Amino acid sequence: MIFDALSLQLGYNATLVTIGATLLGMAGGVGGTFLFLRKRALVSDAISHATLPGVALAFMVMVALGGDGRSLTGLLAGAALSAAAGLLIVSWLSTRTRLAEDAAIGSVLSVFFGFGIVLLTIIQTMNTGRQAGLESFLLGATAGMLRSEAFIIAISAALTLVLVLVLRRPLTLASFDPEYATATGQNVTRTDLAMMGIVLAVTVVGLKIVGLILIVALLIIPPVTARFWTERTDHVLMLSALFGGLAAYGGAALSAALPDLPTGPIIVLVGFGFFVVSLLFAPGRGVVSALLRHRRFQRQVHLRQGLLALAQGQPIFERLTLRLLQAEGWVRPDGVATRQGQLRAAKALRDEDRWQLVRHDPAYEAAALHYDGLTAIESVLTSDQLDALDARLGVKGGVRP
Amino acid sequence: MNGEEFVPLSLVPMLTGIFVAVACALPGNFLVLRRQALIGDAISHVVLPGIVVAFLLTGRATTWPMLLGAAGAAVVAVIAIEAVRRLGRIESGAAMGVIFTAMFAGGVLLLELSDTSNVHLDVEHALYGNLESLIWLDALGWSSLWDAQALATVPVELPRMALTLLFVAGFIAVFWRPLKISTFDEGFARTVGVATAPLGLGLVIVASIAAVAAFDAVGSIIVIAMFICPPAAARMMTNRLERQIAWSVAFATLAAVLGYVLAGYGPLWIGARDSVSAAGMIATISGVILAIAARLGPHRLRGSAAPVG
C-alpha cells in the first residue's frame, strides 16, 4: 500500500494531490530560503494564521449568496485576502509603531486566529455550517478531496513554483545583500513584496494539504535543512527545493496510503526527519563532524603539551595526555618516555624555540602570524630558513622528524 | 443578569479569564521588550505533545499528569530550540519554527494514532480550550461566595489560575530590579553583578508555567494573545516600565471581561441563539485594544522617548 502510494498508483486524485504537494513543497523550500536568509522566517507564521478569518468569512459570504459555501477557489481567495491584510498589519506595526517585528507577528497571529475561531463557532451554529468541514483547514486533509479541488491545488502549486523560479535572481540578491541590491538599482521594497507574495501563495495553496497551523514548516524546515550542507546561496536554494519536495511527496504519499491520518503532520515530520539527519551528519556544519573536529584539535593540543612536558623533564599527571602519548608509543605505561618519545619531545621543544625566535624577529613577521601552538613550523618556513634559525639558536644539525 | 444566574454560569469563567490574562500579560511585558515575544507562541504549540504523551503514559486525562507533561514538553522545547540554535548556528526564529512545528505535528499524529475517544482530548480543545464549561454547579447566587460547602465545588481551574497568578506576580516582584535592568541594558546588568543568563531562563520558565497552567482552561490562542497584545498596547501608552505594566494589567482585564461578555451575551443581543467562542473573542478584543493604542497611544512612535517624569 505504501509502495503503491510512493509510486503514485493509488488512483487519479491521490496522484494529483501528491504531485501538487511535491510542487508546493519545492516552491515552499525556495520561497522559504529567501525568508530564512532575511531572518524573517516567522513572518510566515503570522501569514498562515491570518488566513483563518478569511476562510470563514468567504464561507459565510458564499452561503449568504446562496451557494453551499464549499467552493475551494472561493475559500482560498478569502484566505489570500485576509492573509494579505495580516501581512500589511505586521509590516505597519513593525515600521510605523515602536513594536518590534516579533511582537507584531505574535499579535497579528493570535488576534486573527482568535477572530477566525469566533467566526468558526458562528458557522457551526448556521444550518449549512455543520457539514462545512472548515476544521480540515487547521491540520490539512487530502483524503476524500474532490477531483476539481485536487486540480486546483496541483495547478496553483505549479504556478507558484514557476513564479519562484522566475523571480529567484532578484530575490537572491535582495535577501543576500539588500544594500548592494539597492545600489545596483533594484527596488528592494518591491522585491520584498514579491517575496511576501510568494510566501502568501505557498501558504494559501498549502492550506488544504498541510493546514494553516503547520504550513510554516514547509517554509522554514527545508531551508534550515539545506543550510547545513552548503555555504552557497544557489546551492541552498536547490537543496531546499529538493528537501521540501521530498518531504511533501513522502508525506502526501504516506497519508494517501493511511487516509485516517491528517496529511500536514506527516509532511512536517518527514521534513523534520531530513532536518535531524542533516543536523547530525552534514559535513562541515553537522554535529558529528564538529565533534570529530573538536576531538582532533583536543588530541593535537594534548600531544603537544605532553611532548613539551617530556622534553623539560616534568612529570605528566593528566590522564588523557598520558593515554594519547602511550597510544602513539611515545611513553611507557609508567610515564617514562620511550626512545622515539624522547626524539619527538626534543623536536617539539626545538620547534617551540624556533617559533619564539620567529615571533621576536620582525623579519619573520608574516610567518609569526601562523603561530598557534599547533601549526608545524615546517609548513610555514623553508628548510633554508629553518637552518638559519637553528644557526642562531646555536645548534648544528637540528632534529628532523 | 442577576446573581442567581451570573454566579454559577459566568463568575468562574470570567475570573479565570482575568487571572489567565493577567498572569500571561505580566511576563509578556518583559518578553515583548526583550524581543522574545514569540516564545509564548512556541510554548503554546508544544504543550499539545506533552499532554498527549502524559495521557498515553498515565491513561487518564487528569490535571496533574497533564500539567507535568505540558511543562516537560515546554522545557524540552526550550532546550531543543537552544540546541538547534547553538549546534546548527541557526537564527533563533528559524530554530523556533523548526522545533515547534515538528513537536506540534508529533503531538497531532500521536493523538490520531492513539485511542482517545473516551476522553475530552483533541486538537480543537488544545487550541481554543473551553472557558465556557467552567460552571460552578453548586452556586446559588452571590451568597454562595461565603458558603464553604459551595466553595469546595468551585472548578479547580480557578484556584489553580489564582495560584499561578500569585506565583508569576511574586517572581516579578522579587526580581523586579534585576529584571528591569537586564531587560533594558543587559551589558550594564552584567557589570553590576546580575546573573543575566539564569535570569533570562527563569523568565522564560515562569512564562512557560503561566502558559501551561492557563492553557488547560482556555486553550493556546488566549495564551499567545495575552502574552503579546496587552503589553504591546501598554507600550504605546507610556515610556515607564512601572506604568506599562499597570496599563497591560488593565488592558488584559478589560479584554478578558469584555471578550467574555461579548462572546456569551453579544450574540443574544443581536438576536442570535448561540454564544461564540469566548477564547477567540477575548483574543479579538485584545487585538482591538492594541489597534486603538497603535493609532492613538501617546507613545506609539519609535523614538518617542519624550521627557519622562
Nearest CA to A214 out of B51, B277, B212, B103 is that of: B103
Q: How far is CA B183 from the centre of its chain?
A: 20
Do A17 and A58 reside in the same domain of the chain?
A: yes
Do A16 and A160 reside in the same domain of the chain?
A: yes
The domain boundary, picked from A225, A259, A281, lies at A281
Rg of the Cα atoms in chain A: 31
Which of B31, B86, B98 is the best residue to mutate to test the A interface, defined by the most A CB atoms within 10 Å of its own CB?
Answer: B98
Which one of A109-123, A127-141, B56-70 scores highest in mean pLDDT?
A109-123
A327 assigned to some structural domain: yes
Please name the member of A102, A109, A279 whose beta carbon is closest to the beta carbon of B84: A279
For residue B307, pLDDT over 50 is answered with no
Q: Which amino acid is at A295?
A: R
Within 8 A of A107 by CB-CB distance, chain B residues are 225, 228-229, 232, 287, 290
Mean pLDDT (whole number) for A92-121:
91
Do A209 and A354 reside in the same domain of the chain?
A: no
Cα angle, residue A21 at apex, residues A15 and A22 outer, rounded to 5°: 90
Share of chain A above pLDDT 70, in %: 94
Structurally, how many domains does chain A consist of? Answer: 2
Do A222 and A103 reside in the same domain of the chain?
A: yes
- Whether A42 and chain B come into contact, CB under 8 Å, resolves to yes
Residue B309: the pLDDT is: 42
Interacting residues of A203 by C-beta distance below 8 A, sequence separation 6+: A44, A47, A48, A51, A79, A83, A212, A215, A216, A219
Q: How far is CA B106 from the centre of its chain?
A: 23
Do A6 and A28 reside in the same domain of the chain?
A: yes
Do A239 and A313 reside in the same domain of the chain?
A: no
A337 forms bridges with which residues in the sheet?
A331
Q: A366: domain range?
A: 288-393
Q: What's phi and psi for A10, nearest 5 deg?
A: -105, 35
Q: What is the pLDDT of residues A254-264, one digit of tens each?
A: 888 877 778 88
Do A151 and A189 reside in the same domain of the chain?
A: yes
Within 8 A of B235 by CB-CB distance, chain A residues are 98-99
Q: State whether B290 and A227 contact (CB < 8 Å).
A: no
A328 assigned to some structural domain: yes
Q: What is the pLDDT of residues A8-61, one digit of tens each?
A: 666 777 788 888 889 989 989 988 998 888 888 889 999 999 999 999 999 989
Q: State whether B229 and A110 contact (CB < 8 Å).
A: yes
CB-based contact B54:B65 (threshold 8 Å)? yes
Q: Which helix (H) or strand (E) holds A136?
A: helix A136-139
Domain boundaries, chain B: 3-296
Characterise B89 by phi-psi region: left (phi > 0), alpha (psi -120 to 50), beta (else).
left
Do A225 and A87 reside in the same domain of the chain?
A: yes
What pLDDT band is residue B38 in, cutting at 50, 70 and 90? Answer: confident
For residue A224, pLDDT over 90 is answered with yes
CATH of domain B3-296: 1.10.3470.10
Do A261 and A308 reside in the same domain of the chain?
A: no
Q: State whether B225 and A110 contact (CB < 8 Å).
A: yes
A331 forms bridges with which residues in the sheet?
A337
The domain boundary, picked from A281, A300, A322, lies at A281
Rg of the Cα atoms in chain B: 20
Q: What is the pLDDT of residues A367-378, one digit of tens each?
A: 888 888 788 888
Please name the member of B235, B279, B294 whose beta carbon is closest to the beta carbon of A114: B279
Cβ under 8 Å to A: B residues 203-262: 221-222, 224-225, 227-229, 231-232, 235-236
Q: Which amino acid is at B196?
A: T
Do A205 and A255 reside in the same domain of the chain?
A: yes
CB contacts < 8 A, A to B, total: 207
Q: What's phi and psi for A331, nearest 5 deg?
A: -130, 160
Q: What is the pLDDT of residues A283-317, one digit of tens each?
A: 888 889 999 999 999 999 999 989 988 888 888 88
